[in-house]
């Protein structure tokens, strides 16, 4: 008999430590702050926490630039604090998944410092290449190839110490490790085992599909290194090796491994998550998050085309069914807040926040809830360039300005898409600084914390928070959500998001009105059965489905009509 791994019925909560809770008043969140707020996490009913990086780091990219993998940054606390966190979480039945950032290190990591010397045995731990001759200037060189960094600009930096260039997929302060060098892989695996020995329960692997670079580092057709790197077959060899060398050393424990993969296709994701291939448990893909990117990419945001969003998620549901496993997310520390992005955070804030969460959680896969999502936190009204803290925003601003784009346009798209939107402090209560810190927060607290906060939603049965708790509980209680098949309905409808989940004789119909106007459902099967069916969950108070025995399909609503931003999941 095969036993099902715990993460198949799990919901994971992401903590971005810098912005979650500050215990010492320095304005930056820390591990003791998380300890003080564990009750909130446990009360959600989630199974695990993914903790964004807390390792020693110069913090150029808020901890995604690590200079010591086996120590905690003093900003966040000590190793003893982390051990305490592991223990306290385990005591509550919560697992801890750490962030693993091994495509690159910080340029301050001793490995890189040594590597800068061409004679060092660590020279090959990073990717060094001589420049190409510059036809216009005989005394100068050009970067070794035309790859651009994910954060824009060239992916190469000339190091004056040796006169050669090194590759950095992100900022110049984040040099890429050379995974082709066996000693690098062994050092990473040893570090991972060290963390597993401390009790951590798995890893979220940062941009893991960038680790294997193509032989010879050829130019990219469009200059974007991602097209050359993300499908390199070497990735699967490294992931399988990591599985053997790290996770197989603990036959009695079941870990969670989730690999963040830029520009990944469902075909690649199946290869990476098919249990028989023994690589990863699931991946974070980006296709559904990119549907509103315009021709110029992320900072060229377009209005949501619902058809594209639901088709993308449906495609992943179908392609991975029975073969791989999906992660499900709409928010994380790199994405603007979804209620502002695709919902209506003014007129239908509560309804649209719950609709988006509800639709996502009723898909198949493992849902991830990002801190603040469970209370419907919104984007921050950023206005001036100096309001931003994120290094990616700074680079985007600089390059857009160089391109001569109008200031107003640049600032408008940054306000909508910047990662800082996700990073404003968690809103615990209506006090100054939202209960996040007794000092002054590193990034401003949103003014709406006066009413949008955990304390205000705690005891309100109709709050976003209460809705998320019910959603999370459903995943444990209802088999059809975990294992049922998925079929998208009305794919061409511009406002209706509808699908059916089926398992045995259970048939769950999910309908959602992604608009501020009433929506009359199509006639016929299965929609006709909606009003007579047993409501499992809905986001309007009069059809909440939490009455004993289940309420009727939607009291208060006109039959066959969904109200603005209304979601209903009904057994039909």
Active site residues: 206, 260
The CB-of-396 to ligand TEU minimum distance in angstroms stands at: 8
Nearer to ligand TEU, 205 or 509 (CB): 205
Nearer to ligand TEU, 203 or 497 (CB): 203
Phi-psi category of residue 366: left, alpha or beta, with phi > 0 → left and psi -120 to 50 → alpha: beta
- Residue 293 parent element (H or E): strand 293-294
Residue 176 as a binder of ligand TEU (CB under 6 A): the answer is: no
Query: Phi/psi at 80 (nearest 5 deg)?
Result: -65, -40
Exactly one of 38, 262, 319, 555 binds ligand TEU (CB under 6 A); that residue is: 262
Rounded to whole angstroms, the Cα distance separating 331 from 289 reads 9
Rounded to whole angstroms, the Cα distance separating 62 from 442 reads 12
Nearer to ligand TEU, 333 or 475 (CB): 333
Supply the DSSP string of 58-93, one letter for each residue.
--TTTTSS-SEEEEE-TTT--HHHHHHHHHHHHHTT
The CB-of-177 to ligand TEU minimum distance in angstroms stands at: 12
The CB-of-132 to ligand TEU minimum distance in angstroms stands at: 26
Specify the 3-state DSSP secondary structure of 128.
strand
One character per residue 211-250, x = contact with ligand TEU (rule: CB under 6 A): ----------------------------------------
Residues of this chain, 329-348, that bind ligand TEU according to CB under 6 A? 333-334
Rounded to whole angstroms, the Cα distance separating 7 from 198 reads 20
The CB-of-290 to ligand TEU minimum distance in angstroms stands at: 8
Residues of this chain, 500-539, that bind ligand TEU according to CB under 6 A? none
Q: How far, CA to CA in Å, does 359 sit from each of 356, 446, 508, 511?
A: 5, 26, 12, 8
Nearer to ligand TEU, 169 or 463 (CB): 169
Residue 368 as a binder of ligand TEU (CB under 6 A): the answer is: no
User: Strand ranges (DSSP E) for 230-274?
Assistant: 256-260
Residue 314 as a binder of ligand TEU (CB under 6 A): the answer is: no
Nearer to ligand TEU, 392 or 566 (CB): 392
Q: Which residues contact 504 (CB under 8 A, 6 or more apart)?
A: none
Residue 60 as a binder of ligand TEU (CB under 6 A): the answer is: no
Nearer to ligand TEU, 122 or 298 (CB): 298
Residue count of the chain: 572
Rounded to whole angstroms, the Cα distance separating 239 from 268 reads 13
Residue 64 as a binder of ligand TEU (CB under 6 A): the answer is: yes
One character per residue 450-489, x = contact with ligand TEU (rule: CB under 6 A): ----------------------------------------
Rounded to whole angstroms, the Cα distance separating 106 from 162 reads 18
Interface size with ligand TEU, residues (CB under 6 A):
14
Residues of this chain, 96-115, that bind ligand TEU according to CB under 6 A? 101
Binning the chain into helix, strand and coil, the percentages to the nearest 5 are: 35, 20, 45
Nearer to ligand TEU, 61 or 232 (CB): 61
Residue 170 as a binder of ligand TEU (CB under 6 A): the answer is: yes
Nearer to ligand TEU, 282 or 362 (CB): 282
Rounded to whole angstroms, the Cα distance separating 62 from 415 reads 19
The CB-of-329 to ligand TEU minimum distance in angstroms stands at: 11
Residue 150 as a binder of ligand TEU (CB under 6 A): the answer is: yes
The CB-of-266 to ligand TEU minimum distance in angstroms stands at: 19
The CB-of-196 to ligand TEU minimum distance in angstroms stands at: 22
Directed axis angle between helix 79-91 and helix 182-198, to 10°? 60
Nearer to ligand TEU, 229 or 474 (CB): 229
Q: What is the largest CA-CA distance in the chain?
A: 81
Q: What is the DSSP letter of 445?
A: P
Contact 484, 461 (CB under 8 A): no
Exactly one of 11, 28, 207, 228 binds ligand TEU (CB under 6 A); that residue is: 207
Residues of this chain, 269-298, that bind ligand TEU according to CB under 6 A? 298
The CB-of-172 to ligand TEU minimum distance in angstroms stands at: 13
Nearer to ligand TEU, 385 or 430 (CB): 385
The CB-of-415 to ligand TEU minimum distance in angstroms stands at: 15
Rounded to whole angstroms, the Cα distance separating 371 from 333 reads 9
Residues of this chain, 405-444, that bind ligand TEU according to CB under 6 A? 419
Question: Which of 80-86's residues contact partners 24+ apart within 8 Å by CB, and which partners?
Answer: 81/30, 81/31, 81/32, 81/35, 82/31, 82/54, 82/198, 83/198, 83/199, 84/31, 84/35, 85/31, 85/34, 85/35, 86/198, 86/199, 86/200
Rounded to whole angstroms, the Cα distance separating 226 from 17 reads 29
The CB-of-360 to ligand TEU minimum distance in angstroms stands at: 18
Exactly one of 47, 61, 351, 566 binds ligand TEU (CB under 6 A); that residue is: 61
Q: How far, CA to CA in Å, does 95 sit from each of 42, 60, 71, 188, 459?
A: 11, 28, 20, 22, 26
Specify the 3-state DSSP secondary structure of 485.
strand
The CB-of-56 to ligand TEU minimum distance in angstroms stands at: 15
Nearer to ligand TEU, 61 or 345 (CB): 61
One character per residue 377-396, x = contact with ligand TEU (rule: CB under 6 A): ---------------x----
Q: How far, CA to CA in Å, does 483 sit from each of 86, 471, 501?
A: 30, 16, 9
**Interface residues with ligand TEU (CB under 6 A)?**
61, 64, 101, 150, 170, 206-207, 260, 262, 298, 333-334, 392, 419
């Amino acid at each position: 008999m095969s036993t099902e791994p715990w993460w198949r019925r799990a919901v994971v909560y992401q903590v971005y430590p810098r912005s979650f809770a500050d215990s010492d008043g320095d304005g930056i969140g820390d591990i003791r702050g998380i300890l003080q707020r564990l009750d909130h996490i446990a009360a959600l009913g989630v199974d695990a926490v993914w903790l964004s990086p807390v390792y020693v780091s110069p913090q150029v990219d808020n901890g995604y630039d690590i200079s010591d993998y086996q120590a905690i940054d003093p900003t966040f606390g000590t190793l003893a604090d982390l051990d305490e966190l592991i223990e306290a979480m385990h005591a509550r039945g919560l697992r801890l998944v750490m962030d693993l950032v091994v495509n690159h290190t910080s340029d301050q990591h001793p490995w890189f410092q040594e590597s800068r010397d061409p004679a060092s045995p660590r020279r090959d731990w990073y990717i060094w290449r001589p420049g190409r001759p510059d036809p216009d200037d005989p005394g100068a060189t050009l970067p070794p190839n035309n790859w651009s960094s994910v954060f824009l600009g060239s992916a190469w930096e000339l190091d004056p110490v040796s006169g050669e260039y090194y590759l950095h997929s992100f900022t110049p302060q984040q040099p890429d490790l050379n995974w082709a060098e066996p000693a690098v892989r062994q050092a990473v695996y040893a570090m991972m085992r060290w963390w597993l020995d401390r009790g951590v329960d798995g890893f979220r692997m940062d941009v893991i599909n960038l680790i294997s670079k193509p032989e010879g580092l050829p130019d990219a057709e469009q200059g974007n290194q991602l097209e050359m790197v993300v499908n390199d077959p070497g990735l699967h060899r490294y992931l399988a090796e990591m599985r053997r060398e790290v996770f197989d050393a603990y036959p009695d424990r079941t870990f969670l491994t989730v690999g963040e993969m830029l520009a990944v296709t469902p075909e690649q994701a199946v290869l990476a998550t098919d249990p028989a291939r023994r690589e990863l448990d699931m991946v974070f893909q980006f296709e559904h998050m990119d549907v509103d990117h315009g021709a110029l990419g992320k900072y060229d945001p377009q209005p949501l085309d619902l058809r594209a969003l639901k088709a993308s998620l449906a495609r992943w549901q179908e392609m991975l069914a029975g073969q791989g496993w999906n992660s499900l997310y709409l928010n994380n520390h790199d994405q603007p807040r979804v209620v502002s992005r695709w919902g209506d955070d003014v007129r239908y804030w509560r309804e649209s926040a719950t609709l988006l969460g509800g639709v996502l959680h009723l898909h198949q896969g493992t849902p991830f809830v990002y801190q603040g999502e469970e209370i419907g936190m919104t984007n921050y009204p950023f206005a001036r360039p100096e309001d931003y803290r994120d290094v990616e925003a700074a680079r985007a601003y600089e390059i857009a300005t160089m391109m001569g784009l109008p200031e107003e346009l640049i600032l408008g798209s940054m306000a909508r898409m910047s990662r800082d939107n996700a990073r404003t402090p968690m809103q615990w209560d209506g006090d100054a600084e939202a209960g996040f810190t007794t000092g002054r927060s590193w990034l401003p607290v949103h003014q709406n914390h006066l009413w949008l906060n955990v304390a205000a939603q705690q005891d309100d049965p109709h709050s976003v928070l209460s809705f998320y708790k019910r959603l999370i509980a459903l995943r444990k209680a209802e088999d059809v959500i975990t294992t049922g098949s998925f079929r998208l309905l009305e794919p061409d409808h511009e406002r209706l998001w509808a699908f059916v989940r089926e398992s045995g004789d259970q048939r769950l119909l999910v309908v959602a009105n992604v608009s501020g106007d009433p929506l009359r459902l199509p006639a016929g099967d299965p929609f006709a059965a909606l009003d007579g069916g047993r409501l499992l969950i809905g986001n309007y108070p009069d059809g909440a489905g939490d009455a004993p025995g289940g309420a009727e399909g939607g009291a208060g609503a006109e039959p066959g009509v969904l109200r603005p931003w209304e979601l209903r999941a009904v057994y039909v």
